[in-house]
Amino acid sequence: MRMFRVARYWLLALAILLAVASLALLPACEDEEEETPTPAASPEVTPGETPAVTPTVGGPLKIGLLGPLTGALAPFGPDYVNTANLALDHINAAGGVLGQDVELVVGDTGTAPEQGVAEARRLVDIAGVHAIVGAAASGVTLPIAESVTVPNKILQISNASTSPALTDVADDDYLFRTPISDAAQGVVLADLVEDLGFTSVCTMYVNNAYGQGLSENFAAAYTGTVTAQVSHTAETATTYASELAQCVEGDPEALLALSYPTGQADVYLKEAIEGAIIDQFVFCDGTKSDVLFNELGWEFFDGMQGTAPGALETEFGSTFDDAFEAKYGYIYQTPFNREAYDAIVTIALAAEKAGSTDPTAIRDALRDVANAPGEAAGPGVDGVANALAAVQAGTDIDYQGAAGSIEFDENGDILVGAIEIWRVDAASETLVTDSRVQVDLTTGVLTPIED
């Protein structure tokens, strides 16, 4: 297991604190979404026409899932839908919320702001959802919040949007997220690149809130030379030859691929390899996709590494993974699935706590069920059943999620989380987690996690 250099932690801590202090300066753009491998079991709920209804208080709790079923993050979408259905299985097996089964309505963001906003409007205005989980891409989550969920007073929890720009949205406390901000990932990514021995690198990043924020946070923490930070369109393209040429102009030792898998990273990585332009790469959560390496050839990237927000490994996380594999017959290789599960379960627990499906009441009860203090509650069939029973009995609970402890701050952020170091293993054609580090954004302290 890769060990972090403890002596450098205080320098990294300072970099995190500087990154957090500069969040308000980051422009709003996008985050992750792309095509995932076909899972053994196809999603049980698909987007489509939904009969017009008026959002009601007193009927069944309806949760909307805005996932990237198409577009640059399409490989992630099917796993998110499967995860959402697993969460509903666990909630409804315990009797549902307020005595009724929870319902799920799925929308496809297309990994595009315009489509994401349109689908959010459909979920709110036609399907009558009380809360929304998603979107994945920060650049889709932000306009949805600004145009749909916040004006309509609908709770929105993103399971995958990591841009620091989300922190400062004027959201009237209707926008939350379950992964930790890229103020953390950028610092750990810099640490990884230095541990790999690269003294000069360039970054290719998707031109949105996610890509720009991650590239800038990395550059601020990296002690080597960043020869270039080159953005590319957030839309998919058939070539990035000019951007690639600009990125390698300063003869960097490696290229950081800070993009989405489909129509972005797959295009310029193929051009780099086939043109013998550069052959050393470092990845991130946006490029953590087995679909990407299946398409390009695992052998070209064997042993190369990347970072991604990950789980604070607990028995609760293992419970989720076991349940997912048992239901679907495969284990996901995409990020932010545990975070999607936690978002749905906390919404359900908050509605039960509020005694209402009113979106504002759910929002107001969210921290009551998620934050300490309280009786520890976790995921899984038994965990969710016990949590719902405790809430019904009037017991204060502290939901300890599949991804770790869920503690929402005043901005709806998670300030303590984990960043994992993952590796491309060509022999097994899998993405392997080598190590993880816990990050506390309140103090800037990074702590290696021993497995």
Q: Which residues contact 257 (CB under 8 A, 6 or more apart)?
A: 204, 265, 268, 269, 281, 282, 283, 284, 287
Mean pLDDT in each 10-residue stretch from start to end of the chain (451 residues)?
A: 42 49 39 37 40 61 98 97 98 98 98 98 98 98 98 98 95 97 94 98 97 97 98 96 98 98 98 98 98 98 96 79 96 95 98 98 98 94 97 96 93 95 98 94 87 65
> Which residue do the tokens 């303590």 mark?
416
The three-state DSSP-derived secondary structure of 214-239 is: HHHHHHHHCCCEEEEEEEECCCCCCC
Q: What is the pLDDT of residue 311?
A: 82
* Pair of tokens at residue 135: 């979107």
Q: How many CA atoms lie within 13 A of 275 on its CB side?
A: 15
Q: What angle do CA 34, 67, 321 make, to 5 degrees?
A: 85
- Alpha carbons 321 and 316: distance in angstroms, whole number: 9
- Alpha carbons 7 and 58: distance in angstroms, whole number: 56
pTM, 2 dp: 0.89
CB-neighbour burial class of residue 303 (10 A; exposed 0-12, middle 13-18, buried 19+): exposed
Q: What is the pLDDT of residue 363?
A: 98
Q: Domains in the chain: how many in total?
A: 1
Residue 283 included in any domain: yes
Q: What is the pLDDT of residue 407?
A: 94
CB atoms within 10 A of CB 219: 16
Q: Which of 180, 182, 120, 122 is nearest to 146 (CA)?
A: 120
CB atoms within 10 A of CB 368: 17
Q: What is the pLDDT of residue 259?
A: 98
Q: Which of 341, 323, 325, 331 is nearest to 404 (CA)?
A: 341
Residue 295 included in any domain: yes
Residue 307 included in any domain: yes
Residue 11 included in any domain: no
Q: What is the pLDDT of residue 317?
A: 77
Structural domain span for residue 287: 182-312+415-449
Cβ 188 vs Cβ 435: under 8 Å: no
CATH number where 222 lies: 3.40.50.2300
The pair phi, psi for residue 52, each rounded to 5°, is -65, 130
Q: What is the pLDDT of residue 315?
A: 67
**What does the radius of gyration of the chain's CA atoms come to, in whole angstroms?**
21
Q: What is the pLDDT of residue 405?
A: 86
pLDDT tens-place string over residues 71-118: 999 999 999 999 999 999 999 999 999 999 999 999 999 999 999 999
Q: What is the pLDDT of residue 7?
A: 38
